[in-house]
Amino acid sequence: MSTAAADPATAGPVLTLTMNPTVDICWDVDHLADIGKNRARVRSVAGGGGGINVARHVARLGGRATAVHTAGREVGCRLNRLLDEEGIDHIAVDIDGETREALVLFETASRRSHHIVPPGPHLDDHEGRRCLDVLGQAIGTSRYVVASGSLPGGLPDDFYTAVTRRVKAVGSRLVLDTSGPALRQALSEGVFLLRCNRTEAADLLGRTVRSFDDALAVNEQLLTTGAAEIAVTTIGGLGALCSTRHGHTELRAPPLPGELLSDAGAGDSMVAALTVRLAAGDDPVSACALGVAVAAASVLTPGTEPFDRGVAESLCSDVGITFRTGS
């Protein structure tokens, strides 16, 4: 592990790609009744979706980021305005379909969050190629590109494969966080870093992923097939396994100093921490340790609210680190 602290402010900018963004509307309700009206309070309204969330968290950690994303019709205009007001540097690619809205409902009585997300717009081949062209033009000095989130309807399953080729062609590194057929197709091209959660890992492995041993089986498969140079599989409240050609490292999640409220933004915040630290020169294990701490801080906030940076940094020293051999 690196002993010198990396400075994200001096690192190159991170570029993110969000093909299926959202406007996240977060409501609070005292108790969700089965019948009658449920009176809600608006907690927040913000631009969202994988890459946009990553860009927000990169900035929260002191780094620089630009988010490339689609935007369509009235909701797309609202998304652009929200990002402008928040001060997130972004490049919008116009599409014909309507950008989706997502609802995060937080029930205060049970302290539970419900994240409700529609599928989003349908993109045609021309719109997909335009997004690739904009991404290629935007990379510039960005050594790290993060492609995060689901693909909208209409795009081919191998779209992220084309993204990987664009990124590699200019000498940059792709961090990928997606699921389903889009994830499977991207594996054939090989990415720099692949982050999987338990559900995505189980889909790749063909069985439930509950333990570090299960995560090890997934990561070894990803490394030996050339799907990724760095494989990070998260295992919910247990933490994450970070694997490279040098070996595997268990990073056990720290005890939470509060109540778990929502995991809606934990994955994106972890990817942001990983990327901003790698961009600043940290080794993968140190970067992943911060990622686990940031993810822990994220679940302490309701809905999709940003994590507390001070809490995240305080949790870093409590991340348990164990180096282990392969299976």
Q: Contact 184/156 with Cβ under 8 angstroms?
A: no
DSSP string, 168-203: HHTT-EEEEE--HHHHHHHHTT-EEEEEE-HHHHHH
**Distance between CA atoms of 7 and 62, rounded to whole angstroms?**
8
Q: Is 28 helix (H, G, I), strand (E, B) or coil?
A: strand
Of 48, 44, 46, 45, the closest CA to residue 18 belongs to 48
Which one of 124, 268, 283, 308 is the catalytic residue? 268
80 near 71, Cβ under 8 Å?
Answer: yes
283 is catalytic: no
CB 99 within 8 A of CB 121: yes
* Consecutive H or E run containing 321: strand 320-324
With CA atoms as reference, report the closest residue to 93 among 135, 32, 53, 144. Answer: 135
Quick one: tokens of 46? 């913000």
Distance CA 258, CA 301 (A): 10
Distance CA 308, CA 132 (A): 34
**Cβ neighbours of residue 137 closer than 8 Å, sequence gap 6 or more:** none
Which active-site residues does the annotation give?
A: 268
